[in-house]
Amino acid sequence: MESIQIQSENARDSVEEMINPGQLETNPDRNGSMSQEIDRAEEGHVDKQASESAEFSSIEIQPEKRELLHPEDDGQVLEEKYREDISQSTSSVPEESGPDSHGLNNVNDDVKILQPHTQLPRPEAPPGLSSSDGAVSFQRSRSLSVDMPSIGKLIRERSNSLSSAIVRRLSSLKESDNNSSNNADDSKKGPNSGDVTEFSLSGLKVVVKVKSDLQLKGRISFFSRSNCRDCTAVRRFFCEKGLKFIEINIDVYPQREKELIERTGSSSVPQIFFNEKLFGGLVALNSLRNSGGFDKRLKEMLGSKCPDDAPAPPVYGFDDTEDEQTDEMIGIVRVLRQRLPIQDRLMKMKIVKNCFSGSEMVEVLIQHLDCGRRKAVDIGKQLARKHFINHVFGENDFEDGNHFYRFLEHEPFIPKCFNFRGSVNDCEPKPAAMIGQRLTKIMSAILESYSSLDRQHVDYVGISNSEEFRRYVNLARELHRVNFVALSENEKLAFFLNLYNAMVIHAVIRIGCPEGVMDRRFFFSDYLYVVGGQPYSLNTINHGILRKNRRAPYTIVKPFGTGDKRLELSLAKLNPLVHFGLCNGTRSSPTVRFFSPQGVEAELKCATREFFQAGGMEVDLEKRTVYLTRIIKWCNVDFGNEKEILKWILNYSDATKAGLLTHLLGDGGPVHIVYQDYDWSLNS
């Protein structure tokens, strides 16, 4: 409406400049019929006496503001609207005496518009006006608002176009697939029908897996052992074929070995079963695969439903009938738990919770066993050696008098231990070597089934849902009062290396991968196991046991203080190779593996060599720079100075990197060492 008012004033001013006084000023309008009616209404006013022209010219015409109608309104309604406006404007003009004043009755006469002189510049039409055939007409002004698409509309349009492109592509693939299948002979249909087709659409990768035509009703199962190459080959073959199978690892389920001997006559593995029928081992599988008759034989043997006499899959706890031997001292411990006055005490200006004195325990033993005081003290020492009780400050095993002790389940660190589930394991403590061997077999079986071939990626979700992991959690309870007596140096090294790697897998499943600095602190320092009656975190195992009680990076306190009983388990000699046998669940750490006590040294060297050859060390000959893993920077005191570090790495590098590094060290020039960024993301 404002734009029409401005254009009307501009048009009126331009016409007043072109015509002489006394002539009629005619305002152009967008409707031609309306302009003619205005001209006829004012015709009498032009033919009136000349004396009245001056008076009329002094009248100022105020263009009225008119309401804009929508462009889609009917034309007749628009014309009637403007007729009413014209009648109102003419009635507002002051009337003269007589009916013919201003000549308003001669509305049917024509009015001629005088054109400006030809020498004068012709005025340009204002914006919104267009002339055709000498007639001036208004063009309705558009709204000043701009109709721009919103963000949501734009996203919907893009998503619709992308979806339609994907549908078209899938349809074309399906049509081409159908055409190729129709034209191909039945003899050409083989195991490649289940391949994966990949294609890219505007940066989007779509993977389509064709469903296999092989329909099996039966079940494939095979017996295996941990760290068996033939079993690994069988497992890999079934995975490549996309066949579902059940693996029965007799190292994880030792009671199933008897069933294996009854079915096959020997304990050798692998042994493959199709339903209840024995197929054979790796040799039989390779011969049938090379002859091309595997699929046919598979359909024949698995065409029917699996009977009940086939090897049963491992079930939660039902096939583990191993009897645990109860500790001979458990009867005495139960009596002490009921009769001792367990309460909070004040000792050395500290409040010690849930404790009892040595004299109180001796009195209860004398009354219960009807024995002398000396024998009661000896029984108390046996309970301390078996980790049923501990001194509140770790000063002695057990003594009669005003010394305070507490049961293992009342220790303040117990709620933080993730291998403690409500109660202490009261079974007879087993040797650490036996538990370590079983731990190695179970965790090796887990990695073989739930990790990549190079052990770079681990399926933590699959591990958490597996029966093998449940067996490991049960085994971890046996660490409460494990016996470390008569443990050799290599057995100790392998035991704590394997315990560290197993705890990392358990920690990732329970609390997740550490993302920030505070999360890493909790992950490495506050995630605890109770082992042999003492708390162990990842830091205490790494820096206290394996690194011979050395300070962790960016700390000023050693893991074990003076008098700590865990110092007895520290290694006698520091081996820098242990850094490359520990996996903390990140992408920049060494690959996860488990070691045997007999070959732990050779296995550590192999792990170190694989780590440096896989990117732990890079050499830039032009810049004379060696890029090393940040693990060496964190624990540089274990490797020596920079020159000694480079010479030591030569023993574990491949031929190419060793040659470049030898050239840099031999020409006498400076060698720069840059430490690589550490990737803390999860190796899943």
Going by C-alpha positions, the residue among 334, 236, 216 that lies closest to residue 282 is 236
Across 175-184, 498-507, 543-552, least confident range:
175-184
Tokens coding 199: 């294609």
Q: Report yes or no on whether pTM surpasses 0.75.
A: no
How does residue 342 score in pLDDT terms, banded at 50, 70 and 90? very high
Residue with tokens 């605890």: 528
| Beta carbons of 451 and 255 less than 8 angstroms apart | no
| Beta carbons of 683 and 452 less than 8 angstroms apart | no
How does residue 501 score in pLDDT terms, banded at 50, 70 and 90? very high
The Cβ-side half-sphere exposure at 516, using a 13 Å CA radius, reads 2
Choose between 365 and 89: higher pLDDT: 365
* pLDDT tens per residue, range 510-527: 998 887 788 888 899 999
| Beta carbons of 530 and 417 less than 8 angstroms apart | yes
Going by C-alpha positions, the residue among 631, 618, 652, 544 that lies closest to residue 583 is 631
Going by C-alpha positions, the residue among 523, 439, 448, 534 that lies closest to residue 484 is 534
How does residue 499 score in pLDDT terms, banded at 50, 70 and 90? very high
What's the pLDDT score for residue 97?
Answer: 41
| Beta carbons of 44 and 105 less than 8 angstroms apart | yes
Pairwise CA distance, residues 581 & 586, whole Å: 13
Phi and psi at 208, nearest 5°, equal -115, 120
Residue 68 confidence (pLDDT) above 70: no
Sequence ranges of the domains in the chain: 2-138, 330-412, 437-603, 608-675
How does residue 472 score in pLDDT terms, banded at 50, 70 and 90? very high
Q: How far apart are the first and last CA of the chain?
A: 67
β-pairing verdict for 220-224 and 246-249: parallel
Which residues, in sequence order, are bridge partners of residue 198? Answer: 207
Count the Cβ atoms, other than its own, within 10 Å of residue 270: 20
| Strand, coil or helix: 88 | helix
* pLDDT tens per residue, range 244-267: 899 999 999 998 999 999 999 999
Phi and psi at 354, nearest 5°, equal 55, 55
Pairwise CA distance, residues 220 & 274, whole Å: 5
Pairwise CA distance, residues 458 & 448, whole Å: 10
Segments in 112-248 forming alpha helices (H): 151-183, 229-241
Phi and psi at 432, nearest 5°, equal -65, -30
Across 134-138, 331-335, 527-531, least confident range:
134-138
What's the pLDDT score for residue 106?
Answer: 44
Phi and psi at 672, nearest 5°, equal -95, 140
User: How far does Cα 93 stand from its chain's mean position?
Assistant: 82
Which residues, in sequence order, are bridge partners of residue 531? Answer: 534
* Mean local confidence (pLDDT), 166-178: 65
What's the pLDDT score for residue 350?
Answer: 85
Which residues, in sequence order, are bridge partners of residue 586? Answer: 682
- Host H or E run for residue 273: strand 271-274
Residue 108 confidence (pLDDT) above 60: no
What's the pLDDT score for residue 441?
Answer: 94
Which of 33-47, 192-206, 294-308, 318-332 is the most confident on average? 294-308
400 CB-contact burial (10 Å; exposed 0-12 / middle 13-18 / buried 19+) = middle
111 CB-contact burial (10 Å; exposed 0-12 / middle 13-18 / buried 19+) = middle
Going by C-alpha positions, the residue among 113, 94, 100, 99 that lies closest to residue 38 is 113
* pLDDT tens per residue, range 402-419: 899 999 999 999 999 999
Going by C-alpha positions, the residue among 375, 530, 381 that lies closest to residue 389 is 381
Top-level CATH class of 330-412? Answer: mainly alpha
Sheet with 672-675, strands from edge to edge, namely 617-620, 625-628, 672-675
Residue 277 confidence (pLDDT) above 70: yes
Choose between 347 and 612: higher pLDDT: 612
Pairwise CA distance, residues 298 & 282, whole Å: 15
Count the Cβ atoms, other than its own, within 10 Å of residue 514: 21
* pLDDT tens per residue, range 188-243: 344 444 445 555 555 555 555 555 555 678 899 999 999 999 999 999 999 888 88
Number of H helices, E strands in the chain: 23, 17
